[in-house]
Structure 1
Amino acid sequence: MKKTILLLLFIGTLLSVKAQSVTVRFSTNMGNIDVMLYDETPKHRDMFVKAVKKGWYKNAQFNRVIANFVSQGGELDDTILNREKQHPELGVKRFPAEIKASLFHKKGALGAGRDDNHEKASYFTQIYFVAGKKRSDEELDAIEKKRNRKIPADQREVYKTIGGTPHLDGDYTVFGEIVSGLEVADAINAVPTDKNDVPLKSVVFNLSIIRK
């Protein structure tokens, strides 16, 4: 009964989002994950679609996996920052943030990675899936106090029943969510890793647009 209730809550969060125009498939060596890109973040949606079409994520890897937190894919921070350091003539390229209060870090959300730039602008070639964990009222109260930000009641309920990483809200652009294959994302987030959070066995993925 409990599992049924949680499933209904998860489906409810999906249905609460208006029908979106683009779905992207992550074809991994552990199974497929289908992700609905938000029309509420059109610039990130279009940027990501462009990246898929150009093959920027061809044979990419989930190269930083932290259990119950996130599974990060694409280029690592060090790879991007070292390239920029070695080629200053190319400049530092970031994508303007599209942070929306209604799009939050619930389990299954797709976010854009970034460095610590003040504009909170995104990398072009790094994404992450939110794994997170269920949060208690006490934990959510503490996050609200620390960040001086009220968590809306509906988001609070999701964090309590489904899980996520609420302390990332407001700092990173969330631009999509998993609509199929959440169990695959969970399996990826549970793979053994080394001390640097790198999977001991490569988790490779390719991307394709399956609906537009």
Structure 2
Amino acid sequence: MSFKNSFLFVVIASVLLFASCEDKKKVSEANKETVKEQLKDSVIPTEASEENIETKKNTYPEITQKNVVEFLTQYGKDNPETKVLLSTRFGDMTFQLFEDTPLHRANFIYLVKQEYFNETFFHRVVPNFIIQGGNSDLRSTPKKRAAIGKDYLLPAELQSGRKHRYGTISGAKEYRENPDKQTAPFEFFIFIGPETQTSTGHLNGNYTIFGQVIQGMDVLEKIASVKRDEGDWPLENIYLKAKVLE
């Protein structure tokens, strides 16, 4: 074979080899993309990954101590619903809110519609006494509070003289310099204890009762039996999700 022919053969062989490598590279890259898509589709999101939690954009003005009564009075007129469904991994509960505590009812409905309670927890469980909800250790919770109004309190609504009994829903009370027994707006507790002077004596007349669990009492019992730490915080988070029924 002449030098010219030999050189031509080498050139042709090189071109074919390069083309073959390029085809393999394209096939390899295509396979990688396919694998990526398969992996992406197979990822199962966690129950409450903070990246998946979005704070609902609030189109209402911030609630303050100055406008709280005016705002909730008007909101209550525009949003008269009294039933809320609260969902947990243990099951669902239905809350009946009382119309004779109009500010507390309006506030709770407002928080539900603003999706505040979604991805908060039942963060305190005391068997034979209460389970308390509306807080969490997620960064999203203080962000939601700031968007709604982090500094307001609800005036006490104790005029009905209602007593704590199994399944009643009350507002958590702000303790610091609070002679008027105002309610901290973002947390609530459900009474699950016996109706004795020991368990209810310091609650009656001091905490506004604004609702009653009317369905899902078995869920209360399941939550009451969970394992918890020395601060009564459940060892496994009990996430909440709420929606207005009617």
Q: Which TM-score band (shorter chain)?
A: 0.5 to 0.7
Q: Secondary structure at the match of 1:113?
A: strand
- Whichever of the two has the greater Rg, that structure is 2
Alignment of 1:59-74 (within 5 A): 59-74=119-134
Q: Secondary structure at the match of 1:107?
A: coil
Residues 1:55 and 2:115 aligned together: yes
Aligned residues: 157
**Contact 2:100–2:160 (CA under 8 A) maintained in structure 1:** no
Residue deviations 1:151-208, cap 9 Å, x none?
Answer: xxxxxxxxxxxxx734300000000001000110121122111001000111111111
User: 2:238 and 2:82 mapped to 1: Cα distance?
Assistant: 24
User: Are the structure 2 counterparts of residues 129 and 91 from structure 1 closer, same or farther at C-alpha, using a change threshold of 3 Å?
Assistant: closer
Residue deviations 1:64-113, cap 9 Å, x none?
Answer: 1111110000127x99xxx7xxx9xx884211111134322101000000
Alignment of 1:89-128 (within 5 A): 92-116=151-175, 117-128=178-189
User: Are the structure 2 counterparts of residues 167 and 54 from structure 1 closer, same or farther at C-alpha, using a change threshold of 3 Å?
Assistant: same
**More RCO (CA 8 Å, sep 6+):** 1
Residues 1:181 and 2:216 aligned together: yes
Give the superposition deviation at 1:123: 1.1
Q: What does residue 200 of structure 1 align with? A: 235
- Root-mean-square deviation over aligned CA pairs: 2.4
1:191 to 220, 226, 233: 226
Q: What does residue 33 of structure 1 align with? A: 93
Q: What does residue 202 of structure 2 align with? A: 167
User: 1:203 and 1:74 mapped to 2: Cα distance?
Assistant: 11
Task: Give the percent of matched residue pairs that are identical in Structure 1 and Structure 2.
Answer: 29
User: 2:95 and 2:172 mapped to 1: Cα distance?
Assistant: 16
User: 2:228 and 2:173 mapped to 1: Cα distance?
Assistant: 22
User: 1:133 and 1:202 mapped to 2: Cα distance?
Assistant: 26
TM-score for the superposition, normalised by structure 2: 0.59
What letter matches 1:47 in structure 2? N
**Contact 1:105–1:166 (CA under 8 A) maintained in structure 2:** no
What letter matches 2:217 in structure 1? L
User: Are the structure 2 counterparts of residues 194 and 95 from structure 1 closer, same or farther at C-alpha, using a change threshold of 3 Å?
Assistant: same
TM-score for the superposition, normalised by structure 1: 0.68
Q: Secondary structure at the match of 1:49?
A: helix
* Structure 2: tracts of 5 or more residues without a match: 1-79
Q: What does residue 157 of structure 1 align with? A: none
Q: What does residue 129 of structure 1 align with? A: 190
User: 1:26 and 1:198 mapped to 2: Cα distance?
Assistant: 19
User: Are the structure 2 counterparts of residues 21 and 177 from structure 1 closer, same or farther at C-alpha, using a change threshold of 3 Å?
Assistant: same
- After TM superposition, what 4+ stretches of structure 1 lie above 3 angstroms from structure 2? none
